Structure 1
Amino acid sequence: MFKKLRLNTLLLFIPLTTLIFCFNSPKNDDEKMQTIMVSVKNTLQYLHYSPKPINDAYSQNVYDMYFDMVDPGKRYFMKSDMEEFAKHRTKLDDYFKSGDLTFYKLTIDRLYQRIDQLDKISQDIFSKPIDLTEDETFILEPKKKEAPANEKELYSEWKKYIKYNILQEIETLNAKEESQQKKKDSVIANHLKDTIKVEKFTPEEKKLKAIDEVKDLVKQSFTRFKKRKKMDWFTVYMNAYTEVFDPHTNYFSPQNKEDFDVNFKGKVIGIGAIIQEKKGNLYLGELTIGAPAWKSKQLTAGDKILKVRSKPSEDYVNVVGMLADEAVRLIRGEKGTPVTLVVQKKDGTIKEVTMIREEVEIEDTFARSIVVDAEDGKKYGYIYLPSFNADFDDDKGRNASDDIKAELLKLKANHIDGVILDLRNNGGGSLTEVGDIMGLFMNEGPYVQVKDGTGKIQTLRNKANAPVWTGPLVLMQNELSASASEILAGQMQDYGRAVIVGSPQSFGKGTVQTFVDLNRFLNTNDDFGSLKLTIQKFYRVTGESTQRKGVQSDIVMKDFFSYADVGERFDDYALAWDKITPTAFQKANDFNIESLEKASAARMAQNKTYQLLLESAEWKEALDKEESIPLNIDKFNSLMKSRKAQIEKFKALDNYKNGLKFAVYPQEIQREKTDEAFKKKTENWMSNLRKDLYLKEAINIVSDIRKHQK
């Protein structure tokens, strides 16, 4: 949950003078890091919802968190390194208070030393024959590994890591060959012209191709690592300190904050293209339909980017070998300004393309709806809300509640009999949007209680009494529905306004964050970044927190996440669940949940696709928890063969179609005739909806509600 608060609102209960830290402008990176360190510490202690004592116990937790971030696979540091680092294990609290960089510089300098060493080790490994017949095992689970005791063990560990990647690459080549052969056989069997070419290689050729590919990937990973500035690692170091307070309190560098704002607002000023790194070069990835890169008709995914000119008055910047995020910042800019890319096409030709930057909407941010023609002869409206987006800096910017209202009005014009609001994978957003969306479905009333660090409780209310839709309503959720999604689902459940359908429980994030710009407290104009800080917890109108426990679905349908460790409850530093006094609210009794649940359970028990999906989910989770894998090619191939047999069993899931019929709005039919980008987006969206097993059952449930509503 993110709440936009102005600074003076945050400081109502704290004398402003206590937060003016009075640092002068730093002269170098060391001074800047020291300033940030102390500022983060002070801000955490003064403003965090539940500040921790900065002591030796805290230091040890930060120490463990830091190495989980820096070397999660235990592939870089040696035992001697860890023994040296351990001398600082209880001192990180002292370093935090004073801005001492001793530990940070020691570990990062050593990390770069090890990277240089491992680069040479890898080159040596690739310079010699690689034997895939040795009877070795690679440990996948870091908790089962120890840091290498000496250089011999370090060499051995990296050799195993390289072998594992080679075996995976061979398996990829095998899978590609099998796929091509199946397509070829299908074409021939259907008496069509054989146009499919199957690339076949001997086992030795596959091995050599795989070695070359992995060699290149390893080389480039080291190259990218070495290009990464040491200041970038400081953000990681700071987040080890902040995330021990709670997982949603994070330090953001100025660049990180810019990226966050882009995602939160759902828009960016640029050309609408993903930039990808591969083999030391930058390539265009997927182009956003309708954006400048796509509209140019001169750029395609796979084009190699050679140069970028951000402004007509500036020289071209050679981006070959540059990190992707650096190139992205060259391409972004002010709306209406030109940017030029020099690219190499797949045929080797060089093309210079100038585009005018536009406001590009991130497609997976905004609400969208469609009419479903159901088997019962009725029409139902489906609305997908991927984010509780809001643009606090632009009065004319888009927000989730206005978007939902617009979609509901379109659906009502099509005479629908029920609504499904899909909050799956919705990680939250603006707290105030929840109340506004509540007002679209019901009359005024409290929708959430918010408690700050002093224990003060505030009840937020929707004051509107003009709901747009009062008919049957189903809310879909899963384990990734979090924060604002959980407030809305919980509120609708508590009032008896909607039936909650989906995973056993949602994510379980019951906290509110705000951004605090660190330079606000400092005597400088420099940008020190921001701290996303947990300042409140929220509670349902019943007084129950959603923290850790989330919202339990009325009608449970498990998915792939149900078998994985997904959710707040799996984080060691997540704040605890608790309960406060309920607030007065009027509950309706619109649904017979027991009857709806029984009918759905009967359908899903007979749904072979659903049962197969659950079996597949359990199998994949078991794979993810495997702790080791053989590196002998015969044993590896035998293991892959057994896995393929299982995968073959689950192939039916890829071909599933739910049989739902969708009706495009009349105005959209007209728009599709002239707007190629809009037509393409609609086709892609509907294609995905046709594969959605859970949407089909949600339609069945809303149909049951309409039939049996009290």
Structure 2
Amino acid sequence: MILNLFRFLLIPLAALTTAAALATPQPVPLAQLFPAAGQTKSAIVINKVLERYHYRKVNLDEIFAAQVFEKYLEALDPGRAFFQVHDIDRFNTGARRLADDLRQGNLAIAFDVFRVYRMRVDERVALALKLLQERFDFSRPQTYVFEPETKQWCTSSAELDALWRKRVMNDFLTLRLADKPDAEIRERLQKRYEGLARRIHQFNGDDVFQTFMNAYTQAIEPHTSFMSPDTSENFDISMKLSLEGIGAVLRGDNEYTIVQSTVPGGPARESGQIHTGDQVVGVAQGLDGAMEDVVGWRLEDVVDKIRGPKGSVVRLQLLSKTPGTTSRAREVTLVRNQIKLEDQAAKSSVIEQRVNDVTRKIGVLEIPTFYRDFDAENAGTRDFRSTTRDVRRLLADLTAQGVEGILIDLRGNGGGSLAEATSLTGLFIDTGPVVQVKDAFGKIEVEADTDAGVAYAGPLAVLVDRDSASASEIFAAAIQDYGRGLIIGEPTFGKGTVQTLIDINRFVPGEHNDLGRLRLTMAQFFRIDGGSTQLNGVTPDIRFPSASYLNQHGERSLDNALPWTRIKPATYRASILTNVEQLARQSAARIATDIGFNMLTERSKMLRDLDAQKEVSLRETDRRAEDQQREQRFKAERDRYLHTRGITPVDEDAEAVNEEALEAQRQAIARIEVEEAARVLLDEVLLRPAPVVPAPVVVPAPAVATQ
């Protein structure tokens, strides 16, 4: 029963962040920002459900309550740009009772803090608008520290004023670097700051309650969250829309909306112009609608602007953290569409390599997601689409073409159906366990392949990266544990937990008002060797050099993520991979002189440096020089590689771009790792001992009787 529920919950929740239906909110009087009776009931139930059912046992004591309160302050004021020390001191008086208050559903402190927060936002916005009327001197050497090593609350209004002066200057300079005229910059920033105050004034009691309860859940574990009745309704709408929209998973980060990932087959990924880490700074409707600045907006409001009916046009203005791009905002036009199953389907190709004047072939299977057409299956359709069925067919085609090994490309595959991860593993092993699932009560269930026989028994490798997650990690881990194939690339994302949705009303008999829902982490995945896929992900047998420059990424970058741990191994029979060290040495020797990998490694270094940056210069000449240096540094490496492949580099920032040439450029870069992984697999094929051919048996002729 538990595993049946988990199969559904592994479907990516991209729809949750790409679809929402929000009515235009109105300003809410301060007098209405007090706890409601329904919220008190919900708080009591949420506390009990978390204590009983969450995978990580919750002890609601004073230490934990202090962490909840810190998370709440961080949710409201992550940059410590509104509250001052005297505010925090006053809040702490009430926060000391928070553990007892939460048990009783007393939410007074949460609403008290928010009311003060709203007043502080008004004060800061008024200052920002006043500063906009001044002329800034961008010739002086000064810096803006946007993420201090130790965050401290300002001790005075003067100190906070100085912080905001630099903040406004940085906002202004960022737009000037994007070649905006000063008059337009002032108008745009005025709308941005006024919009910030307007949206905070539109927070109602449910919004405050949801923000506080999510601070509570986030203090436990990052994938547990509370959904208010409105948010729950939007979630239901999004699931019915079947990922209709642009196909992008978004998250809030301070005042920016960040692209966390793109969905295979969706308009965002198909455009090739939207990448993980991009900041959405503007949204416009249609081909000629006005661009709205969305910096500082709530995630839900940005999503509301991006969402729209199938076939309609939305334009996004993006700032990129991708190395080699300028700090200028770029505009991307997308046609909203429904993401179809065939757009996410597995694809095959063949890589040919010459070895000693002999052409050798490696088959490549690109699997963007673990999909299964549940609607068709439930309707009784016998030939419903699924990853396993498509891969089985593709394997037969590749085998018929004479490939000597199969490389499965799971880069960027964020997961999908657990059933498919299990059955896909079954194509490469005979029978046996694939993954173990441990629930909050310590019960362990094993998901196993029970279908005897294999679809492919030859040499196998799996290519993964930092964005391979969930079901991808389950498949890769099983292949590694069985010794069935090589894992190549970067350490994976590390998402090894399972969530379920719980209606709060289930625990309040007779309650007619909707109290919302809780998305609860109630189980964890474990490999068949006993180790978890949580946090550490899957470590490749052969690591690419880009992995050496990874900062905290994926699950490892999230606060309060569940730790890596292990349980008793399952019973299974594994093979031992030989020659791994030799294969790694041969690969490293090739990569050391490979122009393509030099480019990818340089890009990883630059991403690491960007992630580590905590401050920026407010001197315009310095900022422009830094921007140009970074751009030139990457493009020089990229162009050098493309020239060796006979490809003329395309400037993505140009006014008119040849889209076909740009796509060819992207594909060439995407093939660098695939081609090296194929070379590694071919090395493994060549190192295998030749099969022993039995000597012919001479059978003596039967004696011939003579007459």
Normalised by the length of structure 2, the TM-score is: 0.73
Please give the residue correspondences for 1:55-74 in structure 2 after superposition, counting only pairs within 5 Å.
Answer: 55-74=61-80
Select the residue among 200, 207, 215 that pairs with 1:240.
215
Could you tell me which of 79, 102, 114 is aligned with 2:108?
102
Shift of 1:373: 3.5
Partner of 1:45: 51
Q: Which residue of 2 aligns with 1:81?
A: 87
Q: 1:681 and 1:42 mapped to 2: Cα distance?
A: 55
Q: Which residue of structure 2 aligns with residue 17 of structure 1?
A: none
Provide the rounded CA distance (Å) in 2 between the counterparts of 1:126 and 1:162. 8
* Equivalent in the alignment of 1:515: 501
Please say if residues 246 and 266 of structure 2, whose CA atoms lie closer than 8 Å, have aligned partners that are also in contact: no
Runs of at least 5 residues in structure 2 that lack an aligned partner in the other structure = 10-33, 251-261, 271-283, 292-299, 316-334, 379-383, 647-657, 690-707
Residues 4 and 519 of structure 1: is their aligned pair in 2 closer, same or farther, counting only changes over 3 Å?
Answer: farther
**Which residue identity is paired with 1:54?**
L
Tell me the alpha carbon deviations over residues 671-703 of structure 1, each in whole angstroms, 9 at most, x when there is no partner. Answer: xxxxxxxxx999987663321221221121222
Aligned-residue offset at 1:360: 1.3
Could you tell me which residue of structure 1 aligns to residue 21 of structure 2? none
SS of residue matched to 2:193: helix
Aligned residue for 1:559, secondary structure, equals helix
- Between the aligned partners of 1:415 and 1:154, the Cα distance in structure 2 is 69
Cα distance change, pair 340–477 in 1 and its aligned pair in 2 (3 A): closer
Alpha-carbon distance, 1:229 to partner: 4.3
Q: Secondary structure at the match of 1:246?
A: coil
| CA distance in 2 between partners of 1:511 and 1:243 (Å) | 14
Contact 1:249 1:532 (C-alpha < 8 Å) held by counterparts: yes
Partner of 1:385: 367
Q: Residue 420 and residue 95 in structure 1: after superposition, are their counterparts in 2 closer, same or farther (change >3 A)? A: farther
Offset of residue 55 of structure 1:
0.9
User: Which one of 699, 704, 708 corresponds to residue 678 of structure 2?
Assistant: 699
Q: Which residues in structure 2 correspond to 1:494-505 (within 5 Å)?
A: 494-503=481-490, 505=491
1:169–1:214 contact (8 Å) kept in structure 2: no
Matched, 1:652 2:652: no
Moved more, 391-400 or 70-79: 391-400
Q: Counterpart in 1 of 2:445? A: 458
Question: Is 1:113 aligned to 2:98, yes or no?
Answer: no
Measured at CA, do residues 560 and 489 of structure 1 come closer, stay the same or move farther in structure 2, by a change above 3 Å? closer
Q: Which moved more, 1:64-73 or 1:220-229?
A: 220-229
Q: 2:85 and 2:573 mapped to 1: Cα distance?
A: 62
SS in 1 for 2:365: strand
Count of residue pairs brought into register by the alignment: 587
> Amino acid of the residue matched to residue 369 of structure 1?
K
Determine the C-alpha separation between the residues in 2 that align with 1:343 and 1:137. Answer: 36
Task: Give the residue type in structure 2 aligned to 1:701.
Answer: V
Residue 38 of structure 1: SS of its match in structure 2? helix
For 1:370, the equivalent position in structure 2 comes to 348
Tell whether the 8 Å contact from 1:140 to 1:627 is kept in structure 2 after alignment. Answer: yes
Match of 2:289 among 304, 307, 310: 304
Q: CA deviation at 1:536?
A: 2.1
CA deviation digits over 1:381-422, x for unaligned, max 9?
Answer: 333333334566663586544454454455456554332222
Partners in 1 of 2:659 and 2:346 — Cα distance? 11
Amino acid at match of 2:44: V
Which whole-Å CA distance do the structure 1 matches of 2:290 and 2:631 have between them? 38
Taking the aligned partners of 1:497 and 1:639, their CA distance within structure 2 comes to 51
1:44 is matched by which residue type in structure 2? L
Cα separation, 1, equivalents of 2:545 and 2:93: 47
The structural deviation recorded for 1:305 is 8.6
With 618-627 and 55-64 compared, the bigger mean Cα shift is at 618-627
Say if 2:236 is the partner of 1:250: no
Report the TM-score, using the length of structure 1 for normalisation: 0.72
Q: CA deviation at 1:114?
A: 2.0
CA contact (8 A) 2:460 2:485 kept: yes
Contact 1:427 1:485 in 2 (8 A): yes
CA contact (8 A) 1:104 1:237 kept: yes
Change beyond 3 A, Cα 1:343–1:442: closer
Deviation of 1:585 after TM superposition, in Å, equals: 1.2
What secondary structure sits across from 2:528 in the alignment?
coil
- Deviation of 1:432 (Å): 2.8
CA distance change for structure 1 residues 660 and 647 in 2, over 3 Å: closer, same or farther?
A: closer
**Is 2:165 the partner of 1:159?**
yes
Alignment correspondent of 1:183: none
In the other structure, the counterpart of 1:319 is none
Q: CA 1:223 to 1:443, structure 2 compared with 1: closer, same or farther past 3 Å?
A: same
Give the SS at the match of 1:387.
Answer: coil
Rounded Cα–Cα distance in structure 2 between residues aligned with 1:427 and 1:66: 29
